[in-house]
Amino acid sequence: MNLVEITPDNHDITLNIAYATTDNFTGAPVYRRSGCYLHKKAEKCLKKASGYAKKLGYRFKIYDAFRPTEAQWVLWNHTPDPMFLADPRRGSPHSRGVAVDLTLIDETGKDLEMGTGFDTFHPKSHHGNVNVSPEAQRNRHLLMGIMTLSGWDFYQNEWWHYQLFNSQDYPLLSDSVLLDGLMPLNTKT
């Protein structure tokens, strides 16, 4: 398996895996447990980014990373919006283990102001949107600078989403690649 588990201890990050809770756009847990995994190449880029953030006095809070194809179908069936969700027939970079949804937090653990919350499906979530506060614009640019310097590409419509370049080159992965899967045991694609 090419997926590496991302933990607070081994990556100096905070986890808030939204799809393991009701605090996501579906209003219900999608995953049966919280877990964070990335392809080994993406994990190396995350470690590099975490180092840059730490030098500036920040850390990452991760909302999602590897998302099994089964979960992508659950999200798509709930809200089939191609501006914010990849059609599972085409596949998501998340379902390839090469995407991460995250924000920056300060030394107290407080989220930096980004203008919208995670998974806010609205044009205000787009990179470069000037209808958010100057502070939020600066923080988004700071996050983008750290991530792009570390080898990540960004998705124009979501300030929180970063993926490896050429993400389509990686295979789609189902929940079965994990010894202890994320999905409820009765979930099917």
List the catalytic residues: 158
Instruction: Give me the amino acid identity at 132.
Output: V
Q: Which residue, 178, 161, 188, is CA-closest to 98?
A: 161
Both structure tokens of 148: 């792009």
Residue 180 and residue 33 in contact, taking contact as beta carbons nearer than 8 Å: yes
Tell me the β-bridge partners of 60: 104
CB neighbours of residue 7 within 10 Å: 12
Distance CA 18, CA 119 (A): 9
